[in-house]
Structure formats: structure tokens, C-alpha cells
A and B are shown apart, each in its own frame.
Chain A
Amino acid sequence: MLLLKKSSIWIAFLIALVTLPQLFDSILAVSILNQMTIAIVFALSYNMLLGQGGMLSFGHAVYFGLGGFLSVHALLLIEYETMVFSILWIPLIGGLFGLLAGLFIGSFSTHKAGTVFAMISLGIGELIAASSLIFSSFFGGEAGISGDRTFGPLFFGIDFAQNLEIYYLAAFWVFLATLFMYLFTQTPAGRMANAVRDNPERAEFIGYSARRVRFISFCAAGMFAGIAGGLFALNYEFITEENLNAATSGRVLLMAYIGGLGYFIGPIIGAVVLTLMNSLLSNYSELWMLYLGIMFLLTVMFLPRGFAGFIMMHQVAWVRGNMKMLIKPYTLTGVPAALFALCTIALIEMSHTEEEVFHFLGLELNTASSATWIITTVIAAAAFYAVRKSLHQLSEAWDTANAIPKEERA
């Protein structure tokens, strides 16, 4: 962040949003990009709670889902000509209802942070998810409800039937939502959210009610989750109970955490990585959820500040021009680590598959032969040993690259 001016980051973000669907223009790619942009807004809104406000929520999908349901109902109103407005504004309806839900639920759940808040969020999440199956006239039961985005007044002749058209509509809102969520962090309310996260007691002695500060963040997070829900409704034209249940709440937590809670860009990275895993990896392996779980565990254990934290760790070495020193040690550890990961994946997949021949990276592995198993295991063990052996030189190189030069020492 020190290296680039802030405005140039925003311009780069805008250019990326505009050009990505031109570079990757297949139907699959556009659909993935749509999911990704929605996930970015949702994950950023979650980080307003956990990363910036210190509120661990297990029920953030409620605001996403409610925003989505109201958006589909709005689509239906447009379709039946009860109301006449362009579907361009649908995400705002999602946002409005996310905000209303936040105002109501936040009024009693933000009294305390910590365990109390987490348990209330879990309870509310379960309550709404259960209600959504009971009140089927509104939520449509297990099948959910669906709408059609092509009705209503045209927007400069566009009816938003194409995925690409809806992508650009979404990109517009995603850019705005991201910008406003960033700007929120630069206001007194945003800074006090950090202060209350760090030390709610002291915040009260400098004039702020910790509860009120949390409440404001909570409502804002609900609103932006609702906007994400509205974008989801526009993209898929249907929404079900799955979109507001605990699984969706868990996924957004994973995105924010894996990306890095302490950095504004963290949840964006998490949203991109998880969407890619979700949509690409799931084509190759039925076990992708297992890999996601392992990745989450490894992140919690070894990169507590997430991917963004890992990137930012290199700031000092970068500023000192010492990145070159790290290339060799990273390769020496990284290559065997990758080999170990691949062998482990091969072993897991071979135990899972029912085929006799398992195709993996252009190899044909015979799962019936014990030789395949033994060789893979031996390679994995050797690679693991190499990683263990090389960690020492990596940590030494790290210390050298980050050391303060003599002339700078006071």
C-alpha cells in the first residue's frame, strides 16, 4: 500500500472490473466473474463486523438472504407491473432490507461483542433459516422463489437478458459498494469501530458508547450484505433458503478469514480464491470441500493474518530491495512443498476413486497396484523431509532480508 498511491489502486480495480470479462469471455468465465463480484461485496461486508468491529458473526447470511428474497419479490412486482422501475435499482432494495434487518436485529445483538454476540448471531441465523421453510408464501419453501430480470423499463435499450450485461450492472454496484465500504473505514465511526474492537472499555471513557459504535457497523454490514444479496438475485433470478442458512454464513467467514481480516483488501482476495476453488476445483474433484477445509486449517495455523497478511509481511524486504534474497530459499522450500501437496492429493483421490486407472496431471496411476501407492507415499515422505530440512535456511534468509542495516540502527 505504501508503494502505490491509493487512487491508482482504485483505478486499477475499476479497469480490472471492466476488462476481465473481455479477457475471459466464455460463458463459464462470465458466470464465475459474476459470482466473484457478488462474493467480494459479501465478504467485505462481513469484514466490517469481524475484522474492523471485532464482532464474530455466524449468521451474516441472514442479511444477504433477506436482501436477496426482497429483491426477487421486487423483480416479481416489476414483472406483474405493480411497480414500474428499472431493475438497475434492485440492489438498492436488497441493501435497504439488509439495513432494516440490521437495524432491528442489531438493536439487541450488539450490546456485547465476544461470545454473547456470536451466540445471538448463530441463534438468529438458525431462526431465520427455519422460518424461511415455514413461511413458504414469502420464502417459497425448499424450492425458494424465482423471478425474471428482463421485465421493467429498458436501460438505454438493454434488457439485461445476457450474463455479460448483468455483469456490468453488478460491476457498477460492486465498485460503488467497495468504495463506500472503504470510505467508511476513513470516518470517525469507522475508526471508533476499530477502537471498540481493540478496547471497548476505554472507548467508553473517551465519550463513545461501545454498543452504539457496534450498532452502526452492524447496520452498515447488514446493508452491504443486502446489496450483495440483491446482486445475487439479479444474477441467478432465484433464491432459496440455502442462501441465508448457516452454510452460507460459514462460507463468508472462510472467505474473509482466508483472505485476511486485518486488511481491507483481504476479503477481496478471499472472495476471489474461494470462488475460483468453488467453481473450478469442483469440476475436477468431488473432494474440493475437503481441500477447502484443509486450506482453512493451514491458514489459521500458519498464516493467521490470511493471504493479505502474507503478502504484506514482505513489505519490509520489498522496501529494502531484498526480495531477491528470498527467491532461492522460497524455491527450495516451495518446490518440495508443492510436490508433497500433489502427492497427498493423489493419495486422497486414489482412496476416493472407484476407477482402476486414475488420471492425474497427465499420469495414469493404477490404483489397484500397490507399487503406485508405495511410490507416491515415498515421494510424499521425501518431499516432506525436504521441506523440513529447508525451513531452516528459509528462516535465516528471511531474517537477513528483514534485518535493519547497521547504518539505520539508532
Chain B
Amino acid sequence: MSILSLKDVQKNFGETEIIRGLSLDVAAGEKHAIIGPNGAGKSTLFHLISGRYKVSSGSIKFKQEEIQNKPPYEIARLGLARSFQVTNIFPRMNVFENIRCALFWSKGYRYSFWHLLGRQSELNDEAMHVLEQIGLKDKALYPSGELGYAQQRALELGIAIASGAELIMLDEPVAGMSHSEAQSSVELIRKITEGKTLIMVEHDMNIVFDVADRISVLVYGEIIATDKPENIRANLKVQEAYLGEVITSA
């Protein structure tokens, strides 16, 4: 059963085609990685699915519901959460508030101006629980804009997963991290996406082959292969287009 299904999705910016007739099915509970050279359209694809960009044509279904061209907040409410390649937090609020805000909608607070937050102990406990998971509990009252890079990335991840979304999309979650930081982030990602569907864009092949159940290779706006990691490794077309140059250059 696929939780996310893209059919013939196209995206043009003016004359330029970025995504050219892309189809993809992601099964519920699957850990799916998207790899491809720079400029292949990975981030654009993320933006299309999460509603930041409108598709030029084609359809995107999430849990059987068409979501193409819905605004991001409606897609998020259906249970699709994402993180960003460039850290995208609420910098003037403290760490705890960042997470608590990410919880509001899924906890049913909507646009309420009649609930006093100090009294919502279940919500506050839940926010602390998320902080504990991402290892920022002792930084709860710290201004998030002043955190270090790795901690901001952890918070970025925390905002994405707080709502308990069924589908989590992570855009280069460990980019710019040291080896040990990346390693602990991978552990964290594995832990918090347990039983959920994960779609991840990542450049680090070790992490991709380590985490993913299936991998899609995106080249010039088209998926040239979707398969299990071992088959992707063996796929000649992929090696030619992408992996070959990575392996030889590394």
C-alpha cells in the first residue's frame, strides 16, 4: 500500500524544466532515500510534495488524497512533516517554544486564544518528551537562534517529528556535520522514524545505504531507477550517471 504516490509530475520555472514527468510510489513504513547529483531537482521535488511549490502538471496523492497545489499548512495537517536543508527554526523563541509550537496543530489547539499554555500539562510534557528524544532537554529555555550548528539541526529535526506525522521528509539532515555528529544524528533519525514512513535526501552514501529500504536515483528531473540498495549499487545506469563519479572521486 503506497502512502505517497506521484504520477507524471512536472515542474517548470519559465522555460526551464526542473522535474520532467516523475512518477514514484512510496510504501507505508518504508525508508526511502532520494539521491542524485547537484541540480537534479531533489529539493524541488521535496518542495512540490510538501506544497511549497505548485506542480506544473501531474498529481501527488498522500493517503489517497490529492495534495498537489494544496498550501503547505493543509498538507502538514494531513500528517506530512518535513525538515529543511538550511536550518529553518524560530530563532527568537526558546528551544522549548519551538517544539511546543510544532505540537499545537496535531494536539487540536488550532488558532485557540482561549487556552492558557501554562495549564496544558499534557502538551508541555509532550514537548519535553520530544526535547529529551532529540537531546536538547537541558537547553529547553535557551534561545534557539544561539544554539550551535549540530544542536540547531537536531531542533530542526525535532520540529519536523514533534507532531507525530506519518510521513517524514528530511532534506539532507546531516549535511555539514562532523562524522561523529552525523553518526548520532542517524541513530536519532532511526529511532524517531520507527514505524513511520521516511523520505530522505542525502549525499552521504554510507548513511543512505545504511538507512534506506529503497533508493530512487534522480537525474535531471527524472527518476532513472528505484530499487533496493544492493540493486542500486549494482545498477550500471546508476553508476554511470551518479555513483561512478562519487566513488572514483572519493
Contacts and interface: CB of A to CB of B under 8 A. Distances in A.
Contacts of A343: none
A5 to B, nearest CB: 13
Contacts of B93: 191, 194-195, 198
Interface in A173-228: 183-184, 186-192, 194-195, 197-199, 201-209, 212-213, 216, 220
A213 B102 CA distance: 14
**Which residue of B71, B101, B102, B162 has the most chain A CB atoms within 10 A of its CB atom?**
B101
B13 interface: no
A207 B50 contact: no
B105 A187 contact: no
Contacts of B148: none
Given A202-B90, A213-B111, A216-B113, A192 B104 contact: yes
A208 B116 CA distance: 19
Contacts of B114: 187
Contacts of A188: 104, 109-113, 115, 117
Interface in B36-95: 50-52, 71-73, 76-77, 81-82, 84, 88-93
B163 interface: yes
Contacts of A213: 111
Nearest to B77: A207
A186 B89 contact: no
Nearest to A196: B90
A140 to B, nearest CB: 35
B104 A204 contact: no
A207 B163 contact: yes
Interface residues of B, number: 37
Contact of B90 (A187, A199, A209): A199
Chief secondary structure at chain B's binding surface: loop
B193 interface: no
Given A198-B91, A201-B88, A187 B104 contact: no
Interface string B211-222: 000000000000
Given A205-B81, A206-B163, A212 B76 contact: no
Contact of A184 (B52, B81, B102, B113): B113
- Interface bin, chain A: 20 to 34
A205 B50 CA distance: 8
SS of A interface (majority): helix
Interface in A271-321: none
Nearest to A201: B88
A188 B127 CA distance: 14
B97 interface: yes
B102 A206 contact: yes
Contacts of B82: 205
Interface in B91-131: 91-93, 97, 100-102, 104-106, 109-118
Q: Of B100, B104, B114, which is in contact with the most chain A CB atoms at under 10 Å from its CB?
A: B104
Contacts of B105: 206-208
A14 B114 CA distance: 23
A2 to B, nearest CB: 11
B89 A199 contact: yes
B35 interface: no
15 contacts: A184-B113, A188-B109, A188-B110, A191-B100, A192-B104, A199-B89, A199-B90, A202-B88, A202-B159, A206-B101, A206-B102, A206-B105, A207-B77, A208-B73, A216-B113
Given A195-B90, A208-B104, A208-B111, 20 more contacts: A186-B116, A186-B117, A187-B112, A188-B104, A188-B109, A188-B111, A189-B111, A191-B101, A192-B101, A192-B104, A194-B92, A198-B90, A204-B73, A205-B52, A205-B73, A205-B82, A206-B81, A206-B104, A209-B73, A216-B111
Closest 9 CB pairs between A and B? A207-B105, A198-B90, A189-B113, A204-B72, A188-B109, A207-B76, A187-B113, A206-B102, A204-B73
